[in-house]
Amino acid sequence: MDTVYFKNITVSLALALFVEWASRVLNWVWVKPRKMEKCLRQQGLHGNSYRFLYGDSKESSALVKNALSKPINLSDDAVAWASPFIHHTVEKYGKNSFMWFGPAPRLLITDPELIKEVMNKNNIFKKIKQIPIVRMFFHSLESIDGDQWAQHKKLLTPAFHLHKLKLMLPVMYISCTELVSKWEEKVEKNGRCELDIAPYLHTLTSDVISRTSFGSSYKEGSRVFEIQRQQIELVMKSLQSVWGCDSVHSLMEVLLIWL
């Protein structure tokens, strides 16, 4: 009798836990997104209707692949290539609209006053929670809130005082001169040449930071940046294969530019 009783209790508890878990999942992937969509539309914002679990990720992934499959000309709009889904959403729904990152909406705000309000009220407008693997490379003022944000800003501000930036000009001049010399050498061989400047700009950025941060051992610093860039490229491919998300693509492109 006792054995049957305890079995019934165990089954009841397991069933209750399953129902609780299922209700939370249902709320996360359907009920909450639908409520948020209704609220956004009531405030005059427009965007795609929420699609179960994936949101806009499939459409975003398709637009990214299509953009990357075509060459970009000098006269083309770079935004349509760099962030095709954001560009598509703004063109279709207006400058103040929203898109879906899975079951979570993301607002697109272009009004300078609204942007200023969001940036100044960082205790109210919280940053999105980052994927842990992304946090390894992108943990700065753009991704922290509250007291931690204030503390980091206080520590970083002195480094960007005008007199300190002027001291970096000779180092920046050396890096830029070396870059231009490389381009001139390529032009002198044939009289003209076509260059993909993106890799050179990546190198220039890391070279300047390495010289100012590592001093005479800037080559060691450049090696550190190169390893980080390789890691980010692998992370970007991994995230795109899982999430297929345009915002992930844009974030990683920014990181690669700075590294």
pLDDT along the chain (259 residues), means of 10: 69 84 88 92 91 86 84 80 88 90 86 83 71 60 73 81 86 89 83 81 81 68 74 71 49 41
Give the per-residue pLDDT at 142: 67
- The burial class, CB within 10 Å (0-12 / 13-18 / 19+), for 206 is buried
Task: List the structure tokens of 154.
Answer: 């206080």
Give the per-residue pLDDT at 250: 44
Give the per-residue pLDDT at 245: 47
d(CA 59, CA 81): 15
Give the per-residue pLDDT at 50: 92
How distant, in Å, are the alpha carbons of 48, 122, 154 from that of 147? 36, 10, 11
The three-state secondary structure class of 96 is coil
Count CB-CB contacts under 10 A for residue 28: 14
Task: List the structure tokens of 236.
Answer: 């970007």
pTM above 0.85, yes or no: no
DSSP 3-state percent helix, strand, coil across the chain (nearest 5): 70, 5, 25
Burial 91-103 (b: 16+ CB within 10 A, else e): eebeebbbbbbbb
